[in-house]
Structure 1
């Protein structure tokens, strides 16, 4: 079932130049849908349109069939959670307080009874429970990224949107985050995620939308979209793509 759908959306900057042109995407329940492409391809712009943070100059965006712009902000926060690249908290809130902010949309609803459990489980999932009492500004970049993810998980929405959630993380925590994302999709969530690592995309995504210069180049199953020829065309880097000897999942290796 399609949860979040953008059809023919375009975004222009002040001088009228299009930075996203006629882009379409469907984010389905039970799937991890990765947005990939080189720097400046339009990934974050399309992500912003899907999140409702950017209003397209043309095209439509719907959430569960309803126009995204017509959904009240509080209701929107109960239906989709968004993790941005930048995770800044100016005041010295503790880790637990920051994670608990994810429960704000559920205040004064029956779901408020689940606040403590949702916060506890999200901190355990992201391996931040051990420094729950520390202040957010005292954390490393990777620790902040995991706390921000815990806040989004605690929000407990059926649509999860993540913009480069692994960028500041070490190898173990990158894999931990991707396993969490995969598990959320298997439990029925619709996940839209911006990724740079093509091997991660091939390993964890169900569907891929590949962008280049503000346009969608291809969309579909990762192995069908991320071919050696198409990667070289879009990224300008020759690569080999072959099945991993242990898992059979395609692996991308730059030609050096």
Structure 2
């Protein structure tokens, strides 16, 4: 497994982040950083605050305390579309595709932030609009090849198997050309074969495309096989951060989440 690249500037950093809803702590003093070239995983029981951390990172929630940085800049107070424009892409546990559009059209939607021409140019399809359209189509076809979606490229995504739909959603995030990719339970609901395929694509994204990844996932086998480092949270509070081997041996993790048989 290729490890993280040594670089003094983290891609993302959270420092002492606190987030509450009506007095209930969703995130309680979480700090971590993600390094270039790293696959960083966040695990914990249901309700541990994992999705809340993703929402803090992507600008959906603003924490009451702490700092959040992306590419060396504070992103506190920035809206989700502004953070996405900086290069942060996200997939969701529940598929959010346009089921009546083809695979190609859904992937093209991921190119929206790279489009600079206006409505009139698009309508006439000349000059900048024509050149950019060709470039965007080429980028999308590269993703089709990368994720092995050729046989479904012109099919409406609503007709595709669940695992392929999840792959299309991953491709749409890649179409943004992200500097950081957030994967929210990328193998949820998949069978073994689909899970193994997705694991291979996730590693290829990190190693071949050189995109750092933050992954929330309940499949512990997948996390321990893929991640460079793991953060464990419980009731919004961080209880361990380290390599998969270190985390599996941590007594608080064994008690809170993984179970004694994993730590044995």
Q: Fold-level match, TM-score > 0.5?
A: yes
In 1: Cα distance, 2:219 partner to 2:97 partner: 27
In 2: Cα distance, 1:114 partner to 1:30 partner: 26
1:27-106 maps to which residues of 2 (within 5 A)? Answer: 27-69=34-76, 73-74=81-82, 76-89=84-97, 92-106=100-114
Q: Deviations over 1:73-127 (max 9, x none)?
A: 3563351111111223456211110011111111128994642232112223323
1:174 aligns with 2:202: no
- The answer for unaligned runs of 5 or more in structure 1 is 243-256
What's 1:144 paired with? 165
CA shift for structure 1 position 236? 7.1
In 2: Cα distance, 1:93 partner to 1:78 partner: 27
SS at match of 1:69: coil
- Note the aligned Cα RMSD (angstroms): 2.3
SS at match of 1:239: helix
CA shift for structure 1 position 231? 3.6
Runs of 4+ with >4 A deviation: 109-113
What's 1:246 paired with? none
Give the TM-score normalised by structure 2: 0.82
In 1: Cα distance, 2:143 partner to 2:161 partner: 19
Q: Deviations over 1:209-239 (max 9, x none)?
A: 0111111111121111122634431127321
- The answer for unaligned runs of 5 or more in structure 2 is 1-6, 118-127
1:222 aligns with 2:229: no
Contact 1:231 1:238 in 2 (8 A): no
Contact 2:103 2:157 in 1 (8 A): yes
What's 2:4 paired with? none
CA shift for structure 1 position 204? 0.7
The change in CA–CA distance for 1:75 and 1:12 in structure 2 (over 3 A counts) is: closer
Give the TM-score normalised by structure 1: 0.85
Q: Deviations over 1:18-77 (max 9, x none)?
A: 111111111111110000111111111111111222211211111112111365735633
What's 2:145 paired with? 124
Q: Deviations over 1:115-154 (max 9, x none)?
A: 2232112223323221122222233332221110111112
